[in-house]
Homo-oligomer: A and B are copies of this chain.
Amino acid sequence: MNQTPQPLRSVVEQARIDATIIEIFQDLVSFNRVLGLEILSVRAGDVRARFAMRPELVGHYAHGRLHGGVISAVLDSMAGVALLAAVAERHPRDGPAELALRFTRMGTVDLRVDFLRQGKGEHFTATAEVTRLGGRIGSAQMRLHDASGTLIATGAASYVVA
């Protein structure tokens, strides 16, 4: 992102915006509650979340590993978190309500996920990086690591943004 940040928000206002982003993805998106996604950071350059392994997230019953759909869902959500955070940065006068409205106009256009290694272990960490924020389209790259730091999956997503 070459975009110059416009840090017009006070620390308190930014904290409110961050809390709004987390609330949207962690609490209001029902399916993310199924996944148990816990968002740890929404700062540009450090968008990060984690979730714990649970029996209902298993795919291959023979291996006890994460279902590919769980990985896809998490990486899709992470792209959304990173892009909403970038949208918030681009509109520094937006309050929580305006940002929530922008979110309702966002949506995933398409998603690619590469499943590199088996998703095993007690918990997983997902990160996302915005590679483009245009007026109509946003793009992000996502990564999922297991508890030992091994790269489990990578992803790329295109979103419509507002």
Contact = CB atoms under 8 A, between A and B. Distances in A.
Contact of A62 (B55, B104, B136): B104
Contacts of A72: 68-69, 72-73, 76, 111, 113
A90 to B, nearest CB: 16
A120 interface: no
A114 B68 contact: no
Interface stretch (A5-13, A14-22, A26-34, A41-49): A26-34
Contacts of A103: 62
Given A57-B31, A114-B131, A104 B63 contact: yes
A107 B56 CA distance: 18
A122 interface: no
A115 B150 CA distance: 28
Contacts of A111: 68, 72, 111-113, 115
A113 B76 CA distance: 11
Contacts of A108: 68, 115
Interface in A54-108: 55-63, 67-70, 72-74, 76-77, 103-104, 107-108
21 contacts: A28-B61, A30-B55, A30-B59, A30-B67, A31-B67, A31-B69, A34-B56, A63-B104, A68-B108, A68-B111, A69-B74, A72-B73, A72-B113, A109-B137, A110-B115, A110-B158, A114-B132, A114-B139, A114-B158, A131-B154, A141-B154
